[in-house]
Amino acid sequence: MAVDDIASRLAPVLKHREVRLILALAAAAFYYWVVVAGEIGRSTSIVLSALPPALSLIWFRTRPALSLALAAVGVLLLAWLMTNGFSIQNVTQQSAVLVAIFGGAMSARLRDRRAALVLAVVTALLVIPFVYSRYGGLDGLAAEATTFAVGLIALLFVALGLGALARRVLERSGRLDHELADAERRSLRAERDVLLELERNRLAREVHDVVAHSLAVVIAQADGARFAAETRPESVAPALEAISDTARRALGEVRTMLHDLRTSGEGGVVPGAEDLAGLLEGVRSLGVQVDEAVYGEPAALDRAAGLALYRVAQEALTNAMRHGDRTEPVGFEVDWGEREVVLVVTNAVPGETAPATERSGHGVTGMRERAADAGGDCSAGVGSNGRFRVRVALPLAAPDAPVAVRPQTESNPLAVLLGLGEQPVRG
């Protein structure tokens, strides 16, 4: 098994505080046993003096101040034994002080680091009587004793340096983790802002499709009623009724939209490709001539593509009514292919009217966004024949995709034109 695999398996286990405590107790017990194994029954003082440094191993990482204090007690006890005639031969007797110094140097608290430095200096000074006790004097053994003393002192300051290095590594790792967390939070905020912007754009398109088109129809009906008031007074009442019905339905649609916004729902029946016939009927009822052509067999579209096809057709026809030459017919072609459906809407442009792509507004932009959201593309502009042309291509649904079954409804041309859906048949 690879080292990385072992580390990845042990890391979650070592995160538990109880596991770390058990390991620390086991290390302390093992150290104590190694130190006093040969002294039991021979030297009670050595057995007792080894206890504080053994205990220091338990808390060297979690409570460095306590660990340093226990290690210092062990060092002082050893010094007291040497001054009272004990000859200390086992160098592992107080080796736990290295771990305590390492833990103190790792501490984030300045006082713990200072205590570790003081303990390292004091222990280094006590190395000299330790060497003297071990070799029984320095005469004739100067080279060996000096080498041994220098080695022990070096170990003390190596532990101090390694602890400082480990602290810096941990601090840098902590900063990196903090920066990574900040970057993740910024990324989440940016993602949330993008989602909010997309939702605002979606709502703006819906409001444009519902309110703007409703107002366009209301204006058309009002203008017609105003001109017909003098010649055909009997036609004013139906026009006013149509205006009232249009405004009422638009208000209902806006309320439904706000309800869906509050509940984050996708409720309601949305218009799709099957509503194009009603849309054309509504446009023709307003006096606009539409030359319709359908090629191929209609196929299934998913919810997004069906809504995009309907909304683009609605926007293109409304722009044709508002900005096109009403004396010329509007071209409306739907080509059902094997993989996509293509809709082309064309209309004549009066000479004094700027093309839609040059006017300020969100209609063309909204059509392109709707097509892109559904996985298709849309283009709009004046062609070489001088007619304004809107073309949208949308992918067909997968063969195994479920097709929604629409409820039985009764058509209302104005409601279909406004994108208000259809009303269920009431028995």
Tokens of 196: 């909010």
Determine, yes or no, domain membership for 317: yes
Name the pTM for this structure. 0.48
Number of structural domains found in the chain: 2
Element (H, E) at 132: helix 110-135
Is the residue at 227 inside a domain?
no
Q: What is the pLDDT of residue 62?
A: 83
53 and 70 in contact (C-beta within 8 Å)? Answer: yes
Low-confidence ranges of the chain (pLDDT < 70): 1-15, 37-46, 82-93, 130, 132-145, 210, 212-213, 249, 253, 256-269, 352-362, 399-427
From 84, 109, 137, the end of a domain falls on 137
- Please report whether residue 116 resides in a domain: yes
Give per-residue pLDDT as tens, 73-131: 887 877 777 666 665 555 566 778 888 899 889 888 899 889 999 988 888 887 777 67
Let me know how long the chain is: 427
Can you name the residues that pair with 290 across neighbouring β-strands? 330
Residues 275, 417, single domain; the answer is yes
Domain assignment present for 225 = no
In a domain, 322, yes or no: yes
On whether both 132 and 275 belong to a single domain, the answer is no
Residue 187 resides in a domain: no
Long-range contacts of 344-348 (CB under 8 A, 24+ apart): 344/389, 344/390, 344/391, 345/313, 345/316, 345/317, 345/320, 345/389, 345/390, 346/383, 346/387, 346/388, 346/389, 346/390, 347/319, 347/320, 347/387, 347/388, 348/324, 348/386, 348/387, 348/388
Last residue of a domain, one of 77, 111, 137: 137
- In one-letter notation, the amino acid at residue 223 is D
Q: Which of 75, 109, 137 is the last residue of a domain?
A: 137
Looking at residue 212, the DSSP 8-state letter turns out to be I
CATH of the domain at 291: 3.30.565.10
Residues 110, 164 contacting (CB under 8 angstroms): no
Identify the H or E element spanning 312: helix 303-323
Coil vs helix vs strand at 424: strand
The answer on 275 and 128 residing in a single domain is no
Could you list the residue range(s) of the whole structural domain that residue 26 is in? 3-137
Considering the domain boundaries, does residue 243 fall inside one? no
pLDDT of residue 243: 76
Whether 424 and 279 share a structural domain: yes
DSSP E strand boundaries for 303-383:
330-336, 340-348, 377-382
Instruction: Return d(Cα 408, Cα 412) in angstroms, integer.
Output: 13
Sort strands 387-395 and 377-382 into parallel, antiparallel or unpaired: antiparallel
Tell whether 101 is covered by a domain.
yes
What tokens does 63 get? 């409570």
Contact 295, 332 (CB under 8 A): no
